[in-house]
Amino acid sequence: MITFLELKQIFETYNTSAQFVIYSTKNRAVLGSAVGFEAAKEKAKQIRQQRNLKFDEVSFMTSKRFQGSSTGQQGGSVDAAAQTPKKQFGVSGDGRTYTNARGETGRVDYARNYNPSKGRRFRGAYDKDGNYADID
């Protein structure tokens, strides 16, 4: 079995020139960058001490991962598919139509039986193939 330190040494051996981004965990603002894991760790420590930040407020990761996992836009071009809002799936606000995860819509059917645990009637919808799906 391999230990964590051995694994860390393997990664550093194969990718010593990895670019790391040091960022604030509150708002993902970039505070600095460094090349190599140990250098990034040291730079994050220096930034944390200079700005009087807590340990959890400063973090670092590879620049490739940082740009790929960001919730905001980091720059670059944005394709048209990312700008179009995704269709919300589930029962509509008026309770008459249902949209499944594929974006297909259908009419919601309500049963005459009351569901006491939900506080409303049982409901379901039919898909385009005629299969019935229980919504709740």
Output the pLDDT for position 46.
93
| pLDDT at residue 79 is higher than 80 | no
Mean pLDDT for the stretch of residues 70-89: 50
Output the pLDDT for position 14.
57
| pLDDT at residue 67 is higher than 80 | no
Output the pLDDT for position 128.
79
Output the pLDDT for position 43.
92
pLDDT, tens digit, 9 for 90 and up, residues 25-52: 888 889 998 888 888 889 999 999 999 9
CB atoms within 10 A of CB 18: 19
d(CA 56, CA 86): 33
Indicate the residue type of 16: T
